Amino acid sequence: MNVLTCVKRVPMTGGTIVLTEDEQAIETRHLGFTISPHEECGVEEAVRLVEAHGGESVVLTLGPAEAEEQLRDCMAIGADRAIHLVTDGEEWDPQATAAAVVDAIRADGTAYALILFGNESADAGNYQVAIRVAHALGLPVVSGIKGIGVSDGQLRCERESGGGRDVYELPLPAVVSVLEGLNLPRYPSVPGRMRAKSKPVAASIPSRPESRLERKRLVVPAGQGKQAEILGQGADAAPRVVEILQQIGVL
């Protein structure tokens, strides 16, 4: 079975978020980049499914030229090839993103049994690209999935709900959006990294439509930067901690 996974390059912000002067983006000069943990689990699942059932595992991103780094990371843990829709670095709104993904899937021509997404992108969190792609392709879609099983062309998915898990059964091909916890992604091995360097990346430049969800400005929410009351150093702080626990009423 062929499996496509869609991933998005995002900055690895640390303890605080700093914006660029024009408030249009996160200041990323000193930051590394990654993809959402949900998407990492998607890539790992795709690789496992292809290991078990044969076929090809492909990763796709819409992002700047630098996003090739994330595609190589995915190929380092076992994806076979990549599709890169190269942008000028501006974020596309979710409708435009979904349309570009759909065009790319059609142009690629591969019959994908499964198209995997993160439940939500790490940065924008629009909760919709997967569902839009499914509707455009006329495929069934399930969201928020933490368990995937495939047998005899049938898909069985599990989603956490109310202390247990709901089960969905659907035919392939299908679209699934996944959550971290689906699996524990492997670390890329050194040979994996070496092999990834020579795996194929098909790059093309899509044209960007007008945003219908138009971002105007980013704002760092108020309330950051309070300073903790230091109760003490080391084990000597324990009596003060216990006083606080008694005050709060949890002891």
Partner 1 sequence: MTPSTRKVLVVIEHADGAPTEPSLQALTFARPLAAGEPLHALAVGLAPRGLGDHGVGTLHLAEHEAFGSYAPAAVARSVVETIQRLTPSAVIAAGSELGNEVMAHVAAMLDLPLAANCVSATGADVTRIRWGGSLLEEATVHADTVLLTVQPHTVAVETTTAEEPAGELFTPELSAADLAVRVTGRVEAATGGVSLADAKVVVSAGRGAGSAEGFGIIEELAGLLGGAVGCSRAVTMAGWRPHTDQVGQTGTKIAPEIYIASGISGATQHMAGCKGAKKILAINTDPDAPIFASADYGVIGDLREVVPAISAEIRRVKGL
Ligand X SMILES: Cc1cc2nc3c(=O)[nH]c(=O)nc-3n(C[C@H](O)[C@H](O)[C@H](O)COP(=O)(O)OP(=O)(O)OC[C@H]3O[C@@H](n4cnc5c(N)ncnc54)[C@H](O)[C@@H]3O)c2cc1C
Ligand Y SMILES: Nc1ncnc2c1ncn2[C@@H]1O[C@H](COP(=O)(O)O)[C@@H](O)[C@H]1O
- Which residues here bind ligand Y, judged by CB under 6 A? 6-8, 36, 38-39, 60-63, 94, 97, 117-118, 120-121, 124-130
CB of 118 to ligand X, least distance (A): 9
Q: Which does 59 bind (CB under 5 to 8 A by kind): ligand Y, partner 1, ligand X, none?
A: none
Give, in order, the Cα–Cα distances in Å from 189 to each of 18, 78, 178, 209, 220: 33, 10, 24, 39, 37
Closest distance of CB 222 from ligand Y, Å:
25
Min dist. Cβ of residue 218 to partner 1 (A) = 6
- Match 């949900």 to its residue by tokens: 38
Tell me which residue has its CB nearest to ligand X: 122
The helix or strand, by DSSP H or E, that contains position 130, with its residue range, turns out to be: helix 129-137
The least distance separating ligand Y from the CB of residue 98, rounded to whole angstroms, comes to 8
Going by C-alpha positions, the residue among 119, 228, 222 that lies closest to residue 177 is 119
| 85, two tokens | 């829709």
> Smallest gap, in angstroms, from Cβ of residue 198 to partner 1?
27
Q: Tell me whether strands 147-151 and 154-161 are parallel, antiparallel or unpaired.
A: antiparallel
Cβ atoms of 177 and 118 closer than 8 Å: yes
Tell me whether residue 235 or residue 251 sits nearer to ligand X (CB atom).
Answer: 235
Give the list of residues 6+ apart from residue 14 with CB closer than 8 angstroms, or none.
31
What SS3 state is found at 147? strand
Pick from ligand X, partner 1, ligand Y, none: which does 143 bind, CB < 5 to 8 A by kind?
partner 1
- Which of the choices partner 1, ligand X, ligand Y, none does residue 238 contact, using the CB cut-off of 5 to 8 A by kind? partner 1
According to CB under 8 A, which one of 94, 101, 117, 196 is a site residue for partner 1? 94
Nearest distance in Å: CB 195, ligand Y:
23
Which of positions 17-76 make contact with partner 1 (CB under 8 A)?
17, 26, 36-38
Q: From edge to edge, which strands make up the β-sheet containing 174-178?
A: 141-145, 174-178, 114-118, 3-6, 57-63, 81-86, 201-204
User: Between 73 and 120, whose beta carbon lies closer to partner 1?
Assistant: 120
Near partner 1 in 177-206, by CB under 8 A: 179-181, 184
